[in-house]
Each structure stands twice: as C-alpha cells, then as structure tokens.
Amino acid sequence: MKLRRQSRFHQISIHDRSGIRTLKFGDVVQTTMKIDDPSGGALEYIDFFHMPMILRDGIRSVLFVGLGGGSGPTQFLDDYPGIQIDVVEIDEEIVRLAADLFDCRESSRCRIHVGDGLDYLEQADQVWDLIIIDAYMIEHGDLVVPDELTTEEFFRLCQSRLSEDGVLVFNSAATVDAPLTREVRDSLSAVFRSILGFEVVSSDNAVLLASDAPLEHRTTRLAQKAREGLARGSVVRRSLLRRCRQLHRGLSEGK
C-alpha cells in the first residue's frame, strides 16, 4: 500500500514494506507499526513513554499531546487495562488515518480531541497522572517541536494539570546535545523539582521526564524497578530494562 495526502498542516505519506507500515510527514518518519500487530514495531523512543510506569504506582489517566499513527496510545491501551487516555491532535486528517490504517481510534477508554494542544490544556478542567508531549511540525523540510510547547510558561500549565506526583514526558526532536533539548531541559528545570533525560540510540531524539515528586536517578535502581514491574505485571515490555541503561546524566537532575 502507498498513500499520499496533503492536510492543512502536513504532507503525509504512508507505505507498507516487509510487514511494517510507516507514516511520514514530508520525508521524516513519524510512526512505524507491524501490520499484523498494531502495538508492535514502534520507533524506539516510544519505549521511554513507559518509564513513568516503572517510577510510579497508580497511574490511571494519561494525556497525549500529538497523535501521529498512535503508537503510544495503542501500546498503553494494550499494556495497561486500567488506564483512561485522552489524546489531542491538531490535524483532523491524522486522526482519520490513525483510525483507518493504524488501528488507533476512539473507544470507551480513549477519547481523541481535534484541536491545538496548548488551547486544550488551557481550557481543561481535569488533571492527569501522566502527560506526554509528542507533537511535531515540518518547517522548511525539518522536523520541529512547536515553539509554544517548549517554554517555561507552557510547562507551568502542564504542572497545573498534573496530579500531585504526576509525571510529564517530553519527546525532543533533537539529540541530547542539541540546543532544543538543552533549552527544554532548562525550562523544565525551572518548573519541576526532578528531571530525567534518556538518549534515543536509533534516531535523533531525546526523551525527558519531569515531576515535582522525586524521580529515581540511579540506573541500577531504575532497572531493578523495571524487573519488579515485570514480575508483578504492572510493566510488560522487557525492552524497558535496556532503556534504563540509556539514562543520560547530563540531562538529569533533582532538587
């Protein structure tokens, strides 16, 4: 299968090859999925969205800002039966394609809202245990995170929409040493008491976690928590053991 669409926001292409379905914005890969297993075959950085499940007990509500092909919501719905999910996505065409071709659609446990993520958070009257920022745009052929989603002001808004020991996850479309990632880390540090940063090996991404409650900064203890979660069934992806070793000291700090 090959498909091309032009939405208000993106030049979209989707193709199938060797059992993998791939979604691109322009020339940049956004989502990969095993055609016969919609919760499998995702890009590496999606694994780090599960790190809060190692670090926190009792996560019951999750907000995704940005949908793409829906790898994150699909995995969370499969892995954590007790979780309720909200997704906000600015591009209505992406919402349609995610439902039709990536098996990610609204259900009793997953509400999908079409709109701007910043506006949605400003108008929200609820809190979540976990907020995941995974929103991109293409500008002049390059993948960028919208500027308004990287500011201290935005992260204070996110803080106000998190539960007491809630966690914010931010997927930076840049390497650990890039100015964007450092800028986001500094903005998060001005708002939250504890920051963890992880290096994505297979792509130019870094993933940061932030919380007002302490986050575990020791790699060995993170791995132990992952093993404990796997043993009791609260975590199901064994790849998280490997991801714990990708903790980046230069991005992580606690107050």
Q: Residue 12's Cα: distance from chain center in Å? A: 20
Tell which residue, 253, 120, 117, has the closest CA to residue 188.
253
Q: Are 207 and 171 in contact (CB under 8 A)?
A: yes
**For residue 145, what pLDDT is reported?**
85
As a whole number of angstroms, the distance between CA 63 and CA 49 comes to 11
pTM comes to 0.97
**pLDDT band, residue 173 (cuts 50/70/90):** confident
pLDDT in tens, 21-48: 999 999 989 999 999 999 999 999 999 9
> In Å, how far are 5, 162, 163 from 129, measured between CA atoms?
35, 6, 5
> What span, in angstroms and rounded, lies between the C-alpha atoms of 48 and 201?
12
Distance, in Å, from the CA atom of 172 to the CA atom of 197, rounded to the nearest integer, reads 10
Q: Is the pLDDT of residue 253 over 90?
A: no
Q: In the predicted model, is pLDDT for residue 245 greater than 90?
A: yes
Give tens-digit pLDDT for 54-79.
999 999 999 999 999 999 999 999 99
* pLDDT the model gives residue 255: 62
Pairing status of strand 84-89 against strand 110-114:
parallel
pLDDT at 141 over 80: no
Task: Kindly report the three-state secondary structure assignment for every residue of 22-91.
Answer: EEEECCEEEEEEECCECCCCCCHHHHHHHHHHHHCCCCCEEEEECCCCCHHHHHHHHHCCCCEEEEEECC
For the stretch 75-108, pLDDT in tens is 999 999 999 999 999 999 999 999 999 999 999 9
- Residues serving a catalytic function are 134
| Helix, coil or strand: residue 133 | strand
Rounded percentage of the chain residues whose pLDDT exceeds 90: 91
